[in-house]
Structure 1
Amino acid sequence: MTVARKPSLWASALLIGALAATTFAASPVQAADPSQGGAKWCQGVRIRFFVGGDPGDAFASIVYKGAQQAEADFGPKVEYVFSGWQTEKMLAQLRDAIASKPDGIAMMGHAGDDAIMPLAEQAAKAGIIMMYQNVDVPKVRAKFGGGYVGANLYPQGRALGEEAIRTLGLKKGDTALVFGAWGQPGRYIREQGTTDALIKAGMKVITVAGQPAAATDPGLLIPQITGAFGKNPEIKLIVYSGGQTLGAAPTYMRAINKKPGEVFNIGFDTSPAIIDAFDKGFVQLTSDQQPFLQGYVPIQSICLTKKFGFAPMNVDTGAGFVNAQNYKSVADLAKKGLR
């Protein structure tokens, strides 16, 4: 499988570190040797896992499959939490998770450092192992420990913008529309990286605050896109903040009467819908952050910490670019819900 690689600043997937402010002792329970093929060496460990979106969500469903695979491979008892990408709901669910006193919690970091910090302190005092996925909370991890599994957001976003400039023939003076969680601190780091790259290249950038609910119902963006083109018909590029909306690019383009390639559509992730949009010529570029690993590795890490006292893992899941030239190499895996 060939995937275009990102710049060396962040291109290596699976960089495992030992950044932990809190040290967890190995479980006194006799653990099976993980080197023995079929042994469920993490049996007896209880984990609360945050999937992020809703069941069936194009991104969350891949995270979920990764977590389920880790549960099957290692044998812990995992309870899954679906949040619809709503940060307040995630925080309420985290409070409930801490109160249930599991051995470990794998938490989406979307609520940000400030909101999660007091809850992370409670978890640390309770001896709960914490992992974070998809959105990093570096201040929380520096103070209370925990690992992170996900893309290095700002470099990922900046690299996407630079790759679009390099490969799509965009030039100084062209206009881009960038969706993101603008106005929500810590939630638009990746989109800011893309915006900075486009502005540096001399492009005009229009930022639009996307709706979290669009992850479940991408059609919610249609009025925003038609409205943006009504005011700025010269828009040449649209940057989507998630794979759910990038996969709906054909619908959006038909809503504004654009043929494939008349407007470039780029963003993040892969999915069956995105592969179909590549096939039809509506999507030109996406940055793959391998959500399966964002499900699998946090559970693996919690098990290793609980059973053997290893430091939490830190893994950059950013794999590289998928474009019109190489998308068929990941198509089968995407259609199976694994990429």
Structure 2
Amino acid sequence: MRIVPTQFQRLFIATCAATLLGIISPIPAHALEDNWCKDVHIRFFVGGSEGDAFGTIVYNGAKRAEADLGPKVDYIFSGWSSEKMVQQLREAVAVKPDGIAMMGHPGDAAIMPLAEAAHKAGIKMMYQNVPVPKVVAAFGGGYVGAQQEAQGRALGTEAVKLAGMKPGDKAIMEGVFDNENRGARERGTVAALTEAGVNVVQISGPPSGEWASDPNLAIPVITAALLNNPDTKLLGGGGGQMLGNIPTFMQAAGKKPGEIFVFGFDTSPQIVEGFKNGWVQLTADQQPFLQGYLPILSLCQQVKLGLAPMNLDTGAGFVTPENYKIVAELAKQALR
């Protein structure tokens, strides 16, 4: 019987033969070595302050990538302040590293001129946690993180289902609604709740990130909202720091675990305890460890191998009282 190679098989055979004959260059030898990215300089934006619950997971992912690949990495802590991030990005571009991994919180408009300067200087860019699609379209770069609006909508829909919300029921949702890019997530959640007929009270956190750095600053506002809306059935936190602080908010308002269905974003040791003790019923996981590891991997690949920027949606689904134990130990180790 005569075997006829397929077109793919013929192309594969020809490529292998060409490589052996030196017609096509093989994979660069340095890509197969340990610490193959050792001569690359990267500035990495962690987002929060040192010790921040979410930022620590991002930082641990980045440190693991640094150890695995070998680049020189400068870590930038911003306290979740968009204004501070912009100034630090300006300084990072001036230093002219090989690559910058930047949090997208300041938004397209604020980042655009600095992305242009980085592009002109030949600096490779990656963005994490908050997408900046207009910047990427104009000057390139990749993105590792959840798609904010889509994840927010999905969480709102899941909360309505699991909490058994009906038209006319009341919810409270906290978030940085006024931030163009970062606020898309909570706006998506509110849209999903509203479309289900739920009446939503919105609490706008300060855009400069104070509540994310210190959630206790929000106690008077959250408590007042709960006391002024005693018929609230659903309470949403706009970030892992706020969700982790739910027991404090609820106790300040005289509420007991499970009295209100509480939901939000991210995992952390505090949120795991919230599930364990009945304070938290639902969260959307966005795998921040990957938001630390993969931007550094992608920058190394771009600089050393000429590969295209990486783009990955890290939204992994939902954590509930039924499955939280699966991620509990990793969350306690600040890895999930």
Same fold (TM over 0.5): yes
Moved more, 153-162 or 175-184: 175-184
Task: Give the Å deviation of 1:204.
Answer: 0.2
Task: Give the Å deviation of 1:284.
Answer: 0.2
- The equivalent residue for 1:10 is none
- The equivalent residue for 1:259 is 256
Greater radius of gyration (CA): 2
Q: Secondary structure at the match of 1:59?
A: helix
Higher percent of residues as helix: 2
Counterpart-to-counterpart distance in 1, 2:222 and 2:133? 33
Q: Does 1:61 align with 2:56?
A: yes
Q: 1:243 aligns with which of 240, 262, 273?
A: 240
Task: Give the Å deviation of 1:184.
Answer: 2.5
Runs (5+) with no aligned partner, structure 2: 1-26
Counterpart code for 1:139: K
Task: Give the Å deviation of 1:230.
Answer: 2.7
- The equivalent residue for 1:129 is 124
| Residues 70-98 of structure 1, C-alpha deviations (whole Å, 9 max, x = no match) | 00000000000000011111000001000
Q: Does 1:106 align with 2:94?
A: no
- The equivalent residue for 1:318 is 315
Q: Does 1:207 align with 2:202?
A: yes
Q: Report 1:43-54 matches (<5 A).
A: 43-54=38-49
Q: Does 1:172 align with 2:179?
A: no
Counterpart-to-counterpart distance in 2, 1:222 and 1:233? 16
- The equivalent residue for 1:18 is none
Identity %: 60
Query: TM-score, normalising length from structure 2?
Result: 0.90
Q: 2:218 aligns with which of 217, 221, 229?
A: 221
Counterpart-to-counterpart distance in 1, 2:62 and 2:28? 21
Counterpart code for 1:167: L
Q: Secondary structure at the match of 1:34?
A: helix
Task: Give the Å deviation of 1:314.
Answer: 0.2
Task: Give the Å deviation of 1:277.
Answer: 0.5
Q: 2:141 aligns with which of 119, 143, 146?
A: 146
Counterpart-to-counterpart distance in 2, 1:88 and 1:256? 33
Q: Is the 8 A contact 2:163 2:234 kept in 1?
A: no
Q: Secondary structure at the match of 2:31?
A: coil
Task: Give the Å deviation of 1:32.
Answer: 4.7
Q: 1:334 aligns with which of 328, 331, 335?
A: 331
Q: Secondary structure at the match of 1:193?
A: helix
- The equivalent residue for 1:26 is none
Task: Give the Å deviation of 1:217.
Answer: 1.4
Q: Does 1:289 align with 2:289?
A: no
Counterpart code for 1:128: I
Q: Is the 8 A contact 1:31 1:41 kept in 2?
A: no
Task: Give the Å deviation of 1:172.
Answer: 1.3
Task: Give the Å deviation of 1:156.
Answer: 0.3
| Residues 100-135 of structure 1, C-alpha deviations (whole Å, 9 max, x = no match) | 000000000100001110000000000000000000
Task: Give the Å deviation of 1:177.
Answer: 0.8
Q: Report 1:24-103 matches (<5 A).
A: 32-36=29-33, 39-103=34-98
- The equivalent residue for 2:113 is 118
- Alpha carbon RMSD of aligned pairs, Å? 1.2
- The equivalent residue for 1:280 is 277
Counterpart-to-counterpart distance in 1, 2:93 and 2:61? 23
Q: Is the 8 A contact 1:32 1:42 kept in 2?
A: no
If asked which structure has higher relative contact order (CA below 8 Å, sep 6+), I would say 1
Counterpart code for 2:313: D
Task: Give the Å deviation of 1:185.
Answer: 2.0
Runs (5+) with no aligned partner, structure 1: 1-29
Counterpart-to-counterpart distance in 2, 1:128 and 1:320? 34
Task: Give the Å deviation of 1:231.
Answer: 2.0
Task: Give the Å deviation of 1:226.
Answer: 1.4
Equivalenced residues, count: 308
